[in-house]
Amino acid sequence: MRLAELSERSGISTATIKYYLRERLLRPGRRVSATQAEYDESHLRRLRLVRALIQVGGMPVATAREVLAAVEDDSLDHHMRLGAAVWALPAEPQPAEPDAVDDAARRAADALLRRLGWTYGCEVGALSPAYRMLVAAIAGLSRTGYPCDVEQLLPYAKLAGQLAVTDLDMVEQYETPEEQVEAAVALTVLYEPVLLSLRRLAEAEESNRRFGSGG
């Protein structure tokens, strides 16, 4: 299809598509003349992912480019590509100077992963942004004196495990490995606010059930 049709089918303006092409967020189409290029379904799919990351997820263009580079890296096997792409998603920054609280948080995170038998997480450990985000979150709880020992974290981790099964079931509904990697990235980002808002709504229900004057 030509640029005009790609724009119509994606609902994204030709100006924005040209910007994504210049920023190397979208692969160039197959050139058919000096001024025209031909695009296919993979461009349409990629555009959807770019929009998910940038327009909906609010990700900076440079970060999106890194995530997409991981999605496209054919040198990795399917699990590794999926991992690398989710890996490249930005996570909370870590404090500059790790102190005793950070060390204790790292030990708590390691103990939690071992306890869950998450051997992949144990191996990659500190290299993973999600692991560093977990350590920073535990350190934050610890610094403010809120409960964050392994017993307290365990039920959250088990529920996160169930969430991941739901996530991967949804990802597996996509046919090709490339579509699956793209969906894993988009659904990880786009379902975060779904999850956080549902948790707050569920807290209100549960609070009303336990403490509400009507209940």
Under rule CB under 8 A, which residues in 123-142 are in contact with a second copy?
Answer: 124, 128-131, 133-134, 136-138, 140-141
Q: Which residues contact 209 (CB under 8 A, 6 or more apart)?
A: 215
CB of 73 to a second copy, least distance (A): 15
**Residue 149: how many other CB atoms lie within 10 Å:** 14
Interface with a second copy in residues 137-176 (CB under 8 A)? 137-138, 140-141, 143-148, 152-153, 155-157, 159-168, 170, 172-173
Tell me the number of residues near a second copy by CB under 8 A: 85
Q: How many residues does the chain have?
A: 215
Smaller CB separation from a second copy, 36 or 200: 200
Q: What angle do CA 16, 21, 27 make, to 5 degrees?
A: 135
| DSSP code, position 12 | -
CB of 196 to a second copy, least distance (A): 6
Interface with a second copy in residues 69-128 (CB under 8 A)? 77-79, 82-83, 86, 89, 91-92, 113, 118, 120-121, 124, 128
Interface with a second copy in residues 4-23 (CB under 8 A)? 11
Determine the Cα–Cα distance for residues 186 and 177; give it in Å rounded to an integer.
14
Q: Please report how many Cα atoms fall inside a 13 Å half-sphere around the Cα of residue 215, on the Cβ side.
A: 9
Determine the Cα–Cα distance for residues 68 and 62; give it in Å rounded to an integer.
10
Is 51 one of the binding residues for a second copy (CB under 8 A)?
Answer: yes
